[in-house]
């Protein structure tokens, strides 16, 4: 991995250094000339961790909603009852 960033540069430039580096791929963080960490993009992290909520570039909100079935445990009647109770409070 040739895309490296020293801790000193990270302290000096902050998030801008990470943003610039991620344009070239994962970044190896060096501390005292030794590998200390690797920074990857959020998309790579979601892909590697198997995050089911990872989005696909260009996916619309409606496509995302349709791809993720409802996980609620309350019936529509119960939701309506609770909303009425909150309004009446």
Q: Where in the chain are the domains?
A: 4-88
pLDDT at 67 (0 to 100): 74
- CB crowding 39-66: b at 16 or more within 10 Å, else e: beeeeeeeeeeeeeeeeeeeeeeeeeee
Look at residue 1 in the predicted model and tell me its pLDDT. 56
For domain 4-88, the CATH superfamily is YefM-like domain (3.40.1620.10)
pLDDT of the residue at 85: 86
* Tens of each residue's pLDDT in the chain, 89 residues: 579 999 999 999 999 999 999 999 999 999 999 999 999 988 888 778 776 565 667 777 777 777 776 777 778 888 888 888 888 87
């Amino acid at each position: 991995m040739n895309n490296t960033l020293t801790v000193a540069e990270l302290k000096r430039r902050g998030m801008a250094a990470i943003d610039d580096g991620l344009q070239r791929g994962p970044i190896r963080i060096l501390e005292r000339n030794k590998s200390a960490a690797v920074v990857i993009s959020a998309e790579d992290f979601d892909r590697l961790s198997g995050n089911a909520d990872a989005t696909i570039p260009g996916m619309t909100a409606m496509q995302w909603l349709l791809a993720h079935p409802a996980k609620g445990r309350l019936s529509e009647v119960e939701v309506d009852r609770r909303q009425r109770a909150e309004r009446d409070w």
